[in-house]
Structure 1
Amino acid sequence: MEELAKKIQSMTLTRTDVEIAEYILAHLSTIGFQTSTTLAEAIGVSDTSVIRFIRKLGFKGYSEFRSEMNARVAKQIAQAHKDLSPGEKYAKSLEKLNPSNLINDVSRYTLENLQRTYSQMDQDTVERIVDILLKSDRKYIAGFRGTACCAQYMASKLLFLTPHVVPVVHGDATAVENILDITQHDCLFLYSFPKYSEINRALMDIARENGAKIILMTDRHTSPLASKADVVVLAQVEGLGFTNSYVAPLSLSEVILLAMSDRRDVTRTVRFKRIDTVMDKEHLY
């Protein structure tokens, strides 16, 4: 379904289009079972709006769209039949929980976020991200306020695997100063979730103008920043309280780091041996 998401990212969307797009992307596995009327009712828009949006996507009509969605889902089911996906494994764990208190409620939300996140993730996307990171000279890892924890984690672990990692975690003028010299040989890895800070847009514009690759981790393909990125990876951050939950983006970050370490055996490098020697000598554990 990645090509559908890319198509939507490249489109200029009205507010109604965004509502329809978000619903479709959130219900890819079941959208083929809905008529245009039931879909319109579920979203709260008119039949005409749905049909108009489907044609914007390049389909002749809703019938063709519906058939295509069912065919894609059938193909995915066939491919995943032999083994449980990470999302399905989390779903199995979820069934055992009894949401009768705060601990169970938080656990439920966390597992649901992980399930939804991993159901939208694929290995090809991970490999594309790893390719960009390995080929880039400098890696700018940015995230502000709540997402600063994600950026700091990613930057600190990435620095263990490769040099020239630049964390950008303060949402002020220093962020612009840090990234202003980014080049076509570098990349920007940005974490951005609601509410999307305007400084994220400014940093992406600078990176794009300078020819750098952009990796965006966000919550939906219709994020206002998605169209500016070379690679978009989705992580769900819904929380029970007043703040987002960053368990899912941190988990995806770990996947990317593990994939990168698998491609580059850091234990055989001079860099690793020097780091290990200093860490051991200074007891920096």
Structure 2
Amino acid sequence: MVQSNDGRKILDTIGALQNSLTKTEKRIAEQILATPELLAQSSLSEIARTLSVGEATFIRFCRSLGFKGFSDFKLDFAIEIATQSQQPVALLDTNIGPKDKPRQIATKLQNVINRVVGETINLLDFDELNKVVKAMRQAKRIFLFGVGSSGVIANGAKNKLMRIGFQVDAENNNHFMYMQASLMRKGDVVIGISHSGTSPETTKALEIAKEAGAVTVAITHNLRSPITKVSDYVLNNGNRQGQLQGDSVGTQITQLFVLDLIYALLVQAEQEKATQSKQKTVDVIVQQRDK
């Protein structure tokens, strides 16, 4: 169960939970995502009748989203739908047509990026984020794990964190991930990146690292996915549209956004140290170029 809604947008939370719901819950979720405006002003009995479920079933669904019951859910949901209807409708995917001009395509991509970043902000638990930043500041070593495009993102984050003075490494090969994870110690932090949260390699690496004593962090879209079960902290990125899964620009942007937010908070917390470390790394590269 999600512990608390904490101001998260309901539709985004439903999207983040969708892949881990029961068959009945998934049917409820699909109907709400498809026609949210039809349910916003309905009573519990009307919603239950519309969805062909029992009232108790829908109340349990509300609780699984972090609400105490239907009344709390209905109030927040009605506000969200009313607010959403006052905002310009964002494109759900790129929908690139064969006659689109480059500027039109660029605008569509911009809409995608704006939407998924907004969704990420809605889903992030900022108390959890602060705890991750605190753990990283105290860490002896930091490791980032991810496969495929998530591995590319992990390597990019490694470069940024190294420049501000952190002992950090990244791996995208499962054998090397397992070996590194087995050598973790108390005081180390391991971050696993998996949009679906179902990557067996990344999940296994975090499980091994956790057993070895490291603090484990998951960056994932799905709130109840396997990787969350082996993570001390979970940071949720957006992009719930099926068309934009995997290595899409939307997914990569949201993962980068979470990691850049961590980076910004680390720099903010230790600005002088970060500035000095970054200058050292810049100087040594310039010196090598001048030789």
Normalised by the length of structure 1, the TM-score is 0.71
1:199 aligns with 2:201: yes
Query: Which residue matches 2:159?
Result: 156
Query: Which residue matches 1:66?
Result: 70
Once the two structures are TM-superposed, the CA of residue 223 in structure 1 deviates from its matched residue by: 1.8
Counterpart secondary structure, 1:150: helix
Cα separation, 2, equivalents of 1:126 and 1:234: 10
Cα separation, 1, equivalents of 2:201 and 2:113: 28
Once the two structures are TM-superposed, the CA of residue 243 in structure 1 deviates from its matched residue by: 3.9
Deviations 1:133-162 (A, max 9, x none): 111111011111021121111111011123
**Which range is displaced more, 156-165 or 194-203?**
194-203
Query: Which residue matches 1:130?
Result: 133
Structure 1: unaligned runs, 5 residues or longer: 82-86
Cα separation, 2, equivalents of 1:201 and 1:244: 21
2:197·2:227 contact (CA, 8 Å) conserved in 1? Answer: no
Once the two structures are TM-superposed, the CA of residue 263 in structure 1 deviates from its matched residue by: 0.4
1:281 aligns with 2:283: no
Once the two structures are TM-superposed, the CA of residue 209 in structure 1 deviates from its matched residue by: 1.1
Give the aligned CA root-mean-square deviation in angstroms.
4.4
Once the two structures are TM-superposed, the CA of residue 48 in structure 1 deviates from its matched residue by: 6.0
Deviations 1:17-45 (A, max 9, x none): 76379679989x98875544565577x66
1:22·1:222 contact (CA, 8 Å) conserved in 2? Answer: no
1:106 aligns with 2:109: yes
1:189·1:214 contact (CA, 8 Å) conserved in 2? Answer: yes
| Percentage identity across paired residues of the two chains | 13
Query: Which residue matches 2:11?
Result: none
1:168 aligns with 2:167: no
Query: Which residue matches 1:146?
Result: 149
Using CA pairs under 8 Å that are at least 6 residues apart, name the structure with larger relative contact order, 1 or 2: 2
- 2:212 is aligned, of 210, 213, 219, to 210
Structure 2: unaligned runs, 5 residues or longer: 7-13
Deviations 1:50-75 (A, max 9, x none): 2473597599xx9x612233566799
Counterpart code for 1:260:
L
1:137·1:185 contact (CA, 8 Å) conserved in 2? Answer: yes
Query: Which residue matches 1:53?
Result: 60
Counterpart secondary structure, 1:116: helix
Query: Which residue matches 2:23?
Result: 16
Cα separation, partners in 2 of 1:39 and 1:26, compared to 1, 3 Å: same
2:128·2:235 contact (CA, 8 Å) conserved in 1? Answer: yes
Cα separation, 1, equivalents of 2:215 and 2:27: 29
Cα separation, 2, equivalents of 1:211 and 1:202: 14
Counterpart secondary structure, 2:166: coil
Once the two structures are TM-superposed, the CA of residue 187 in structure 1 deviates from its matched residue by: 1.0
Query: Which residue matches 2:188?
Result: 186
Query: Which residue matches 2:122?
Result: 119
Cα separation, 1, equivalents of 2:214 and 2:199: 20
Number of residue pairs matched by the alignment: 262
Cα separation, 1, equivalents of 2:257 and 2:175: 30
- 2:270 is aligned, of 264, 270, 279, to 264
Deviations 1:90-123 (A, max 9, x none): x76959x997637144333333222211222354
Once the two structures are TM-superposed, the CA of residue 177 in structure 1 deviates from its matched residue by: 1.1
